[in-house]
Amino acid sequence: MPPDSPAHPTSIRFSRLLLTGAAGGLGCTLRPRLAAYCRRLRLSDIEALGEAAAHEELQPARLEDATAVHALLDGVDAVVHLGGVSTEQPWAPILRANIEGAFHLYEAARKHGVKRIVFASSNHVTGFYRQDEVISPHDPVRPDGLYGLSKAFGENLARLYFDRHGIETVCLRIGSSFAEPKNRRMLATWLSYDDLERLVVASLTAPVVGFSVIYGLSDNTTGWWDNTGARHIGYRPQDSSEPFRAALEAAEPTLDTGDPAALYQGGAFVRTGPFD
Ligand code: 15L
């Protein structure tokens, strides 16, 4: 178990958690950290997962494979679903992993009686709002590409499975979760790894979440997303991008306001992708 786990005092809350997308950037970050909260951690991905620790179960699966996803959910208390395409890509892989895959995941959860999912959505669900607007999860979606559109589908799917089947989901519209903010945009969108853990653990353990949407960001000085409607989750970010501001502004002293990437919240995603 990680000695520096910042979210809560170490406490086992789950017999078995499932982490999908466990070989990805955020999956690798959460893998050691989630060990503090469960007896068994089932890890899935299509990429190599390395060696299993004593508390881990490795179960590779393609999300478009309904049978494999059904098996993934067997015996699981809750899911952290990071799996799928996480950048702008052609429609075919997005369709398979993020649309079909999300459907298989929720169907498997329904059949296995799994009642809580933390769904890694994305800020790109609302990427076409401007950087001079502050929005909340109650504002209409404005996806900035096929990837953001697929995450909007995932959120709607989660809404349906809560209304119809009582499966609770917290949709995390993750900003930019990296060890450090990498550019000026990320001064507004950064989510530190410790805050990511706090957010995921709060989403897993809040007593009642129903269907909730919350932006995943640290306590940054500048920002575009109002999370006050999600205070019931109990997430309190403790990091800030501010210590990185001077260096990032010096590295990018001027912004090209003719570039859509500098105008819209989605940054370069608003001009990346399959529409060339
Ligand atoms: C995302 O949704 C991506 O998965 C991630 O790689 C970042 O690019 C992030 O958005 C962002 O907006 O910075």
Partnered with residue 14 across adjacent β-strands are 38
Q: What is the pLDDT of residue 6?
A: 54
pLDDT at position 7 is 54
Kindly give the parts of the chain with pLDDT less than 70: 1-10, 276
Is any ligand 1 atom within 6 A of the Cβ of residue 124?
yes
The residue annotated as part of the active site, out of 129, 147, 193, 215, is: 147
Please identify which residue in the block is written with the tokens 């170490």: 10
Q: What is the pLDDT of residue 217?
A: 98
Burial classification of residue 131, based on how many CB atoms lie within 10 Å of its CB (0-12 exposed, 13-18 middle, 19 or more buried): middle
- Give nearest CA residue, ligand 1 atom 7: 176
Q: Catalytic residue at 147?
A: yes
User: What SS3 class is residue 57?
Assistant: strand
Using CA of residue 208, residue 212, residue 218, residue 223, what is the dihedral sign?
Answer: negative
Indicate whether residue 265 lines ligand 1 (CB < 6 A). no
Residue 159: closest CA among 150, 172, 168, 147 = 168
Ligand 1 lined by 126 (C-beta under 6 Å): no
Q: Name the nearest CA neighbour of 61 among 52, 51, 75, 71.
A: 71
Q: What angle do CA 275, 24, 151 make, to 5 degrees?
A: 45
The minimum-distance atom of ligand 1 relative to the CA of 124 is 2
Nearest CA-CA partner of 121 in 216, 195, 30:
216
pLDDT tens per residue, range 42-91: 999 999 999 999 999 999 999 999 999 999 999 999 999 999 999 999 99
Cα 108 to chain centroid, rounded: 20
Contact (CB, 8 A) for 183 and 247: no
Domain residue ranges in the chain: 14-271
The full length of the chain comes to: 276
At position 184, the amino acid (one-letter code) is R
Q: Are 38 and 93 in contact (CB under 8 A)?
A: no
- Percent of the chain predicted with pLDDT > 70: 96
Q: CA–CA separation, 126 vs 139, rounded Å?
A: 9
For residue 122, how far is its CA from the centre of ligand 1 (angstroms)? 7
Q: For ligand 1, is residue 98 a contact (CB within 6 Å)?
A: no
> Which residue's entry shows tokens 């607007």?
133
Could you give the dihedral angle defined by the CA atoms of residues 186, 187, 193 and 196, in that order, rounded to the nearest 10 degrees? -90
What global pTM score does this model have? 0.95
- Please tell me the class of the 14-271 domain: alpha beta
**Bridge partners (DSSP) listed for residue 16:** 40
Residue 190: both structure tokens together: 């950064």
